[in-house]
Amino acid sequence: MPEEIAIEVNGRRVRVAPGMSVAASLFQAGEFHFRSSITGEPRAALCGMGICFECRVTIDGRAHSRSCQIEARDGMVIHTL
């Protein structure tokens, strides 16, 4: 297993440990605004177990992916907001 993998977060290359969730990777990368609520309020991972849907981001072009339930993979492209 490689010691680090590289993902792309909003166009920025970020290195994270293998086995981390996308949500944890985003926090580690300093991203705390995952998406915006209907009224425009910032949202980020809350429950961490796939129930609250607050952690949704776009992963490899797929909108509304629950980042807390998806493992970060090398080369993954993530967009928040």
Partner 1 sequence: MTACSYDAVVVGAGIVGTACARELADAGLRVALCDQNVYTGGGATAAGMGHLAVMDDSEAQFALTSYSQALWHELAVELPPAAEYLPCGALWVAADQEELDQAQRKCAFYRVRNVPAEMLDAPQLAEAEPKLRAGLAGGLLLPADSVCYPPSATDYLARRVTETGGSLFLGARVNAVSEDGVGFHDGTRVSAGVTVLATGAANLTPGIAVHPRKGHLAITDRYPGFVRHQLIELGYLKNAHSTTADSVAFNVQPRKTGQILIGSSRQFGVDDGSTEAPMLAKMLARVIEYMPSIRNLSMIRTWTGFRAATPDNLPLIGVCPGYKKVYLATGHEGLGISTSLATARLLADEILGRVSAIARAPYEATRRFVLHA
Applying CB under 8 A, which residues contact partner 1? Answer: 38, 53, 56, 62-65
Shortest approach of partner 1 to residue 10 CB, angstroms? 20
Residue type, 21: S
Which is closer to partner 1, CB of 6 or CB of 63? 63
Shortest approach of partner 1 to residue 69 CB, angstroms? 12
Burial of 14-27, coded b for 16+ CB within 10 Å and e otherwise, reads bebeeebbbbbbbb
Torsion of CA 70, 74, 75, 80, to 10 degrees: 40
Shortest approach of partner 1 to residue 42 CB, angstroms? 16
